[in-house]
Amino acid sequence: MTENLAMHWLDEVKWDGQGLVPAIAQEAATGDVLMFAWMNREALQKTFELQRAVYFSRSRGKLWFKGEESGHVQTVHEIRLDCDADVVLLKVTQLGHEPGIACHTGRHSCFFQKLEAGTAGDGAWRAVDPVLKDPESIYK
């Protein structure tokens, strides 16, 4: 099989104008949504090959191997593509701390803020999930 045929599955993804696709990491065991990031073609290919989450950091302009600094690696069990072929879902096991920490704030999930209604009919974001590990001790 030639390299072109072997990578045909990458051609089925609808990449945006910057060559990126949104990626959601979901904990395989619990169904918790852990984080959202971006992937380019190389990141998705490496994720498939290594069975480890690799994203594309837009701020750094390079591949980001999840856990390369923190040790909070994501082992990938499944890679799914949505019906429009423009969003990737990774079913992962979050490693590096028990319970797993996916967020740079030291929380299990990046989705730790909940919109709550105020008494005046307004709303406010409230952190509802605890910090499991001080980020200062994670990133040195």
Q: What is the pLDDT of residues 76-114, one digit of tens each?
A: 999 999 999 999 999 999 997 777 899 999 999 999 999
Q: Is the pLDDT of residue 28 over 70?
A: yes
Residue carrying the six token digits 């099989």: 1
Domain count, the chain: 1
What length is written for the chain? 140
User: Looking at residue 76, which CATH number applies to its domain?
Assistant: 3.10.20.810
Residue 31's closest CA among 109, 86, 95? 109
E strand or H helix at 45: helix 41-50
Average pLDDT, the chain: 91
CA dihedral sign of residues 18, 3, 46, 76: positive
Contact 91, 77 (CB under 8 A): yes
> Residue 76 sits in which domain range?
3-138
Mean pLDDT of 102-127: 90
Give the confidence band of 6 by pLDDT, cuts at 50, 70, 90.
low
Task: Pick from 1-5, 35-39, 106-110 the range whose average pLDDT is largest.
Answer: 35-39
Contact 88, 22 (CB under 8 A): yes
Q: Is the pLDDT of residue 1 over 50?
A: no
Q: Is the pLDDT of residue 3 over 60?
A: no
Query: How far lies 45's CA from each of 49, 67, 127, 128, in Å?
Result: 6, 18, 35, 35
Residue 13's closest CA among 49, 50, 46, 39? 39
Global pTM reads: 0.87
**How high is the pLDDT of residue 122?**
84
